Chains A and B, each alone.
Chain A
Amino acid sequence: MSASTKPGTQSAPIALPRDLLHDLRTPLNHILGYSELLMEQMSAAGHEEYVPHLEKIRKAGHDLLDLMNNNLTTEAE
């Protein structure tokens, strides 16, 4: 947990240009989508040993998405 998200501190969201926020979310779609797809495929193929590693990637992506959703917004146009 970073200092910026410690309980009890609620700062205003940081405003970023609309296109920059879009460009931050797009690669996260790949990270989350492919890690979930690979988890499904590895499970189906019986390679359960890879699933926990992929779950770490997926969780890190979700944590990053939560940080973005809770702390970033778009600049007024």
Chain B
Amino acid sequence: MNRDMLSRRLQRRGYEVMIAVDGQLGIDMAQSELPDLILMDMSLPVIDGWEATRTLKATEKTKSIPIIALTAHAMSTDRDKAIEAGCDDYDTKPIELSRLLGKMEALLESGGANTSQIRVNS
């Protein structure tokens, strides 16, 4: 599965990865674990990534956690839609790992994170 592949590649680079398999679990896990960064698949079951992002960004405890939207929709309007929902950045599938890592590190550095703990929803 996609999340398995991505989490393994990130773990090989030293990131601590937690996985939520649907949007509701993602919200719950974000609130309990407070990760440094969230990779949000926008096509999650139960609650989709759009709604999960809006919920997390509207919640005091989680609103400062950077969220990168991941989607296989690649039009510029999809990026605008993700930013509008509250995502801090956006990347398209197929994932080019070096490009994604660059976006992740930029957000982690700007947020002062030092543990590189992230969550993958996908």
Determine whether the beta carbon of A29 is less than 8 Å from that of B95. yes
Determine whether the beta carbon of A65 is less than 8 Å from that of B94. yes
Determine whether the beta carbon of B9 is less than 8 Å from that of A40. yes
Binary per-residue interface labels of chain A (34-48) against chain B in the complex, 1 for a CB within 8 Å, 0 otherwise = 101100100000000
Determine whether the beta carbon of B94 is less than 8 Å from that of A74. no
Given known pairs A33-B6, A40-B9, the reply for A61 and B94 (CB within 8 Å) is yes
Residues of chain A with a CB closer than 8 A to B72's CB: 22-23, 25-26, 29
Question: Secondary structure of the B side of the interface?
Answer: mixed
In chain A between 1 and 52, which residues have their CB closer than 8 angstroms to a CB of chain B? Answer: 18, 21-23, 25-26, 28-34, 36-37, 40
A: interface residue count bin: 20 to 34
Determine whether the beta carbon of A26 is less than 8 Å from that of B8. no
* A64 vs B77: C-alpha distance when bound (angstroms): 23
- By the criterion of a CB under 8 Å from any partner CB, how many residues of chain B are at the interface? 16
Binary per-residue interface labels of chain B (1-42) against chain A in the complex, 1 for a CB within 8 Å, 0 otherwise = 010011011001000000000000000000000000000000
Binary per-residue interface labels of chain A (59-76) against chain B in the complex, 1 for a CB within 8 Å, 0 otherwise = 001000100010000100
* A62 vs B11: C-alpha distance when bound (angstroms): 24
B79 to A: closest C-beta gap in Å? 14
Residues of chain A with a CB closer than 8 A to B97's CB: 33, 36
- Sort A-B residue pairs by CB-CB distance and give the 8 closest, nearest first: A29-B93, A29-B94, A25-B72, A33-B5, A32-B94, A22-B72, A28-B94, A26-B72
Could you tell me which B residues sit within 8 Å of A by CB distance? 2, 5-6, 8-9, 12, 71-75, 92-95, 97
Could you tell me which A residues sit within 8 Å of B by CB distance? 18, 21-23, 25-26, 28-34, 36-37, 40, 61, 65, 69, 74
